[in-house]
Amino acid sequence: MVVGEMVEKRDLMVIGGGPGGYHAALRAAQLGKQVTLIEQGEIGGACLNEGCIPSKILTHFASEFRKQGHLQKMGMVMGEASIDLAKLKSFREEKIKGLRAGVEGLLRSRGVEVINGTASFLSENRIGIESGHQFSLFEFKQAIVAIGGKMVYPPGISMESPFVLTEREALTMTEIPEGLIVSGHDYVAIEIAAAYAALGSTVTLLMEGRLPFDQSIEREMKRILKKQKVSVVTEVKIMSVSDDGGVEVDYESSAGTRQVNGTHLVLCGKSEADLSRAGLDRLPLECEGGKIKVDGEGRTSIPGVWAIGDVTPGPGLAIKAIKEGKVAAGAIAGDKGEVDLEWLPAIVQMDPPVACAGWSEEEAENRGYEVVCSEYPFRANGFAGLKEETDGMIKIVSEKGTSLILGIHMIGSGAVELISAGVLGLEMAARAEDFTFPLYPHPSSNEALMEAVEELTGHAVHLQRRRKKAVQ
């Protein structure tokens, strides 16, 4: 130590103010801990400021824009609608600022000390924080690493072209692109493609693999996207990209080598852990697959150092980071908890949205289950009919003989809200009767879930069936 060096002592330090970090800080403060939260950028992290919230503003805007015809049909008189992206930008900035201020207010109200600066581990129990020209040294009892990940893009493609955008840049475009090519591997690419198609772009979606859902949902997604004039190509490998006043993309798929042209290309990256940040490479942390190995409550191999979010194994999702943050904070305060990602819901905020939890039919069979499945179309639901939102379906995967629910897969209006009932049922090891016994609001989309489960035994009331001819 340098003579005269001042070391400040802290109880719990949380490095990173994204969704995982600020939830951890708030939960620990609720449980009586003195908490210091360090964030080098804006509170809320990439999710609130650049990713989750901006993307959902775009998808919500596109969904509302698509409803014009239905509203006019009902009798709502309006002039010809147009798109003002400058106003959308102002709306987006206002909402982000408001949400961020709300989180900052919560942190203040809980007595969480917030330091704006760049944190770096100096040893297993010391952190240095650089803020402008000031450097401070802290000694901690416990620390939670919540620094998020870094976005990695396909090699060999120049990101300097004005016609090649990242997924976050695509959320803030100042004009609707005439011909948009979206390349990606998950829900982000699908959401961007569907949103801009609704706003008038001609869209080609190049997916690295299959659409990552049960095959029945995948088929319905492809049908709906085709109806919305999104050209979908799956299991794609991009060979080259050239730009000269637009973009040309050469790619390989099961159909062979093809070329697609457009005005812009959006490349959706993958979130990976960057263990060179925050001085993590100075610590003897046990890792697996390039990420920090943790137990079910977030403990690392170093006593007193915890890790959550994108730096730990599993998908780079805010919902995962939030759960891990709460569990780690609780464990530090003496509570018992566990992070179990088995029934993690998968969501796509396209129109209509996709929401799935549990195992697909194929996954259940691969795990050794003999399954019974049902499919229930939203067109059979009266509430969906009056809203003219009849695209989509619900698929239930259950175990034959026991009616244990193994998976619930939806695409349709209200699916994101409905899936919470499905997640709860999966967590409680529900059987079909646990879904069909309760009373459901009428009329509502909820009844579609009930009838999808009833259809496991062929008892969905609102599905038409061919009447069997009487035997003479």
How do the pLDDT tens digits run along the chain, 472 residues long? 444 468 999 999 999 999 999 999 999 999 999 999 999 999 999 999 999 999 999 999 999 999 998 998 999 988 888 999 999 999 999 999 999 999 999 999 999 999 999 999 999 999 999 998 899 999 999 999 999 999 999 888 988 899 999 999 999 999 999 999 999 999 999 999 999 999 999 999 999 999 999 999 999 999 999 999 999 999 999 999 998 889 999 999 999 999 999 999 999 999 999 999 999 999 999 999 999 999 999 999 999 999 999 999 999 999 999 999 999 999 999 999 999 999 999 999 999 999 999 999 999 999 999 999 999 999 999 999 999 999 999 999 999 999 999 999 999 999 999 999 999 999 999 999 999 999 999 999 999 999 999 999 999 999 987 665 555 5
- Beta-strand runs (E) in 319-377: 346-348, 354-358, 371-377
Where helices occur in 16-164 by DSSP H, the ranges are: 19-30, 45-49, 52-66, 68-74, 85-109
Buried b (16+ CB within 10 A) or exposed e, 110-128: eebebbebbbbbeeebbbb
Q: Residue 471 has what pLDDT?
A: 52
Class of domain 352-457: alpha beta
Q: Is 186 annotated as a binding residue?
A: yes
Residue 184 assigned as binding residue: yes
pLDDT reported for residue 467? 65
Name the residue ranges covered by the structural domains of the chain: 7-149+273-332, 152-268, 352-457
Q: For residue 410, what are its two tokens?
A: 């939806």
Supply the DSSP symbol for 431: B
Confirm whether residue 189 is marked as ligand binding. Answer: yes
Distances (CA, A) of 437 to 77, 313, 357, 407, 462: 43, 38, 21, 19, 17
Virtual torsion, Cα 81, 86, 89, 94, nearest 10 deg: -90
Q: Please calculate the CA angle 412-413-417 and round it to the nearest 5 degrees.
A: 100
Choose the catalytic residue: 23, 264, 442, 462: 442
pLDDT at 245: 86
What is the Cα–Cα distance from 287 to 293, expressed in whole angstroms? Answer: 5
pLDDT score of 156: 86
The answer to whether domain 152-268 and domain 352-457 are alike in fold is no
197 within 8 A of 176, measured Cβ to Cβ:
no
Kindly give, in sequence order, each residue whose CB lies less than 8 Å from that of residue 259, ignoring residues fewer than 6 positions away: 248, 249, 250, 251
Give the pLDDT of residue 244.
84
On whether 187 is known to bind a ligand per the annotation, the reply is yes
Determine the residue type at 193: A
Residue 60 bears catalytic tag: no
Q: What is 163-197 written as a DSSP string?
A: TEEEHHHHTT-SS--SEEEEEESSHHHHHHHHHHH
96: left (phi over 0), alpha (psi -120 to 50) or beta: alpha
Fold of 7-149+273-332: FAD/NAD(P)-binding domain (3.50.50)
| Structural class in CATH, domain 152-268 | alpha beta
329 three-state secondary structure: helix
Place of tokens 């060096």: 5
Instruction: Tell me the C-alpha distance between 31 and 25, whole Å.
Output: 10
- pTM (predicted TM-score): 0.93
- Residues linked to residue 377 through DSSP beta bridges, in sequence order: 393
191 among the known binding-site residues? yes
Q: Is 185 annotated as a binding residue?
A: yes
Burial of 144 (0-12, 13-18, 19+ CB in 10 A): buried
